Amino acid sequence: MKPASFRRPGRGLTEVMEKLHEMVEAIRAEKKPAPTAPAKPAQPKTAAPPTPPPGLPDMVPVKGGTFTMGSPKNEEGRYDAETQHPVTLSDFLIGKYPVTQQLWKEIMGNNPPHFKGDDLPVEQVSWDDVQEFLKKLNARYPGHHFRLPTEAEWEYAARGGNLSKGFIYAGSNKLDEVAWYSGNSGSKTHPVGQKKANELGLFDMSGNVWEWCADWYGDYPSQPQADPTGPESGAHRVSRGGSWSDVPLHCRVACRLYWLPGARYGHLGFRLAASPAVRWFAHSGPSIEQTGATQGGETEQASEGRAQRRRGGALRSETLRSETLKGLADF
């Protein structure tokens, strides 16, 4: 008879081996790395947009539309060169303020104005000077396509675009509300944005400084126009808006003036414009006049009458220039 404590050696060894196996598996489980989430695909790196230069004004989007450019014959102070005609414009962008001395110095490295101050509009810059400024600005901050506004764009924006309330000046019929002119300027420029904005939120489009436009100066056509850019050539470039040295009639949104492209005066500055990327400054769409939609059957008498009106308009514009220069005689 076998003792009660007797166990077969085979069974004891089996239990030991089983315990040893469990211990080994436990150790293996502890060393086994935890499952990791699948790696996310690397995201392509995009270049950060360049930091806007100091003093760069907000560019206000202007929805295109059709408006009547020029002034009615009964508008007080009107000049003959302001013949009314319908104009249709595409969308564009325009500066909220005139270009300041701060931005000019940042881009050009000099500061030509007579009246000094970072937040004052730059003046004493010619049309040619502005072209050099635009070239450097666009090279430094590519993709914006900064330029001067066309004369039609300038007037449309000054009138308030498709939000226009029909004011004589840019934003009001009361010039003191919106402009620095001869009656309140103290014979100097003032920091931009201090007066009331117009319907589009644009400041100083009447008064403070005249603003260069892209166009050559010329007579207005009587036919409807689409994205006009002015004459193909000329002797003078257009300026708009009036200035600190001007009487109220020169600050009207319809008033036109012109200067030689190299002219520099203490009342003459500019404002930036830009076009959407799909439509650059060339304004590829031809005007209605360019497509051949001209008046037909005009008599010699009518043609001569039209020529006389053009000469009269040029005379009135020259008178305006003379008056402006006379006002600057003591400057």
**pLDDT one-digit tens code per residue, 255-279:** 999 999 999 999 999 999 998 753 3
* Domain residue limits, the chain: 59-280+308-325
| pLDDT of amino acid 95 | 96
The average confidence (pLDDT) of the chain is 81
| pLDDT of amino acid 141 | 87
pLDDT in tens, 228-259: 999 999 999 999 999 999 999 999 999 999 99
| Between residues 324 and 275, the one the model is more confident about | 275
Q: In the chain, which residue ranges form alpha helices assigned H by DSSP?
A: 9-31, 101-108, 127-140, 151-158, 175-178, 300-327
How far is it, in rounded angstroms, from Cα 103 to Cα 291? 40
Q: What is the CATH number of domain 59-280+308-325?
A: 3.90.1580.10
Confidence band of 43 (pLDDT split at 50, 70, 90): low
pTM of the model as a whole: 0.72
pLDDT in tens, 196-228: 999 999 999 999 999 999 999 999 998 999 999
Confidence band of 53 (pLDDT split at 50, 70, 90): low
> In the β-sheet with 273-274, what is the strand arrangement from edge to edge?
59-62, 92-95, 273-274, 146-147
How far is it, in rounded angstroms, from Cα 22 to Cα 255? 98
How far is it, in rounded angstroms, from Cα 58 to Cα 192? 13
